């Protein structure tokens, strides 16, 4: 496997980051997870836009231009002979000393890993997931704006552990006010009386690229969609529920906190959205 590291493609064994990189020492950096479908990078420009917004928010100067980054992402796929895969793009603050000061890190590092994707087993897309609300809260906007896709995922990781301890594959994370924010690596949607509802980013939801795609699909299919405050009660009494993310795509949820959602089976609206999503990933995208 060839990894893009600061302008060069190197063997995986040689793709090394310094122990003084602030991405490692402090989680000081940002990332994107992007999919390649049949030789097309899905929503590449949207992912790069979010990366650049995250960089601006943390005062990080990405050392290459957006067109150069786009070219490097495509080249990473080609170098690894991939047609379908998962691209992890990260920009760290770079090498500094043992203090927090980012201004002592002169050069951010850029890493692009293009690899095969490990997905949820296909049966979950047919039978749906059982998930659980966990105690660990989504980081609040007063601490770190949830729009920043930073290398600090510790609270999401704690939430994932808590989900597993509860026998669930994913966690619902609430915000500090107790409203539903999102899952550990996915956004959440419910269907209630024919309407699609999802928490707004102010509630602690990452502005997911897949989530944005669902907005466009809902419009095309004529399904009303609203950003709405959601409580656990709203989720328990939803007709349908599904999660969205670059890795998971669109995955139905049939059980939450021991309660069946709707009739306990993936619902028809989820099915229509999933079918359209699968169509779009094959027809939209940037050719590598
Ligand atoms: N919320 C969070 C906190 C995320 O990290 C999403 C929502 C969905 O966003 P996109 O843009 O992908 O639709 C994410 C992104 C993993 C993994 O290994 C998951 C994400 C990123 C990287 C790895 O599960 N999810």
User: Tokens standing for 260?
Assistant: 């069946």
Say how many Å lie between the CA of residue 104 and the centre of ligand 1: 30
Whole-prediction pTM value?
Answer: 0.95
Which residue, judged by its Cα, is nearest atom 2 of ligand 1? 185
247 lines ligand 1 (CB under 6 A): yes
Report the residue among 246, 249, 251 best suited for mutation to probe ligand 1: largest number of ligand atoms under 8 A from its CB: 246
Nearest CA to ligand 1 atom 20: 185
pLDDT at 121: 87
Measured from the Cα of 182, ligand 1's closest atom is 1
- CB of 208 sitting under 6 A from ligand 1: yes
Binding site membership of 210 for ligand 1 (Cβ less than 6 Å): yes
Which architecture characterizes domain 124-283 according to CATH? Alpha-Beta Barrel (3.20)
Which pLDDT score, from 0 to 100, does residue 40 have? 96
Please give the distance, rounded to the nearest whole angstrom, from the Cα atom of residue 186 to the centre of ligand 1. Answer: 5
For residue 141, the model assigns a pLDDT of 86
Distance 183 CA to ligand 1 centre (A): 9
Report which protein residue has its CA nearest ligand 1's atom 7. Answer: 186
pLDDT at residue 198 in the model: 98
pLDDT of residue 264: 96
How remote is the CA of residue 246 from the centroid of ligand 1, in Å?
Answer: 6
Is the distance from the beta carbon of residue 245 to the nearest atom of ligand 1 less than 6 Å?
Answer: yes
The structural domains of the chain, with segments of one domain joined by +, span 2-115, 124-283
Per-residue pLDDT in tens (0 to 9) along the chain, 288 residues: 999 999 999 999 999 999 999 999 999 999 999 999 999 999 999 999 999 999 999 999 999 999 999 999 999 999 999 999 999 999 999 999 999 999 999 999 999 999 998 878 889 999 999 999 999 999 988 889 989 999 999 999 999 999 999 999 999 999 999 999 999 999 999 999 999 999 999 999 999 999 999 999 999 999 999 999 999 999 999 999 999 999 999 999 999 999 999 999 999 999 999 999 999 999 998 899
Q: Is the CB of 199 under 6 A from ligand 1?
A: no
- 2-115 architecture in CATH? 2-Layer Sandwich (3.30)
């Amino acid at each position: 496997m060839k990894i893009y590291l600061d302008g060069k493609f190197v063997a995986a064994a040689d793709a090394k980051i310094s122990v003084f990189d602030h991405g490692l020492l402090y989680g000081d950096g940002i990332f994107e997870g992007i999919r390649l479908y049949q030789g097309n990078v899905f929503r590449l420009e949207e992912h790069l836009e979010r990366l650049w917004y995250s960089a601006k928010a943390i005062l990080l100067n990405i050392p290459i231009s957006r067109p150069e980054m786009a070219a490097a992402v495509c080249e990473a796929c080609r170098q690894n002979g991939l047609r379908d895969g998962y691209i992890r793009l990260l920009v760290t603050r770079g090498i500094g000393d043992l203090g927090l000061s980012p201004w002592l890190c002169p050069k951010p590092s850029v890493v692009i890993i293009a690899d095969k994707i490990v997905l949820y087993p296909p049966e979950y897309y047919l039978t749906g997931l059982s998930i659980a609300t966990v105690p660990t809260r989504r980081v609040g906007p007063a601490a770190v704006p949830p729009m920043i896709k930073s290398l600090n995922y510790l609270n999401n990781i704690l939430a994932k552990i808590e989900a597993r301890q509860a026998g669930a594959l994913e966690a619902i994370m609430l915000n500090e006010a107790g409203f539903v924010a999102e899952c550990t690596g996915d956004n959440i949607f419910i269907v209630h009386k024919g309407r699609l509802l999802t928490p707004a980013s102010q509630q602690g939801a990452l502005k997911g690229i897949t989530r944005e795609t669902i907005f466009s699909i809902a419009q095309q299919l004529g399904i009303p969609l609203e950003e709405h405050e959601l409580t656990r009660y709203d989720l328990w009494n939803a007709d349908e529920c599904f999660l969205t993310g670059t890795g998971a795509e669109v995955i139905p949820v049939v059980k939450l906190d021991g309660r069946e959602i709707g009739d306990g089976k993936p619902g028809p609206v989820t099915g229509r959205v999933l079918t359209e999503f699968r169509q779009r990933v094959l027809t939209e995208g940037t050719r590598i």
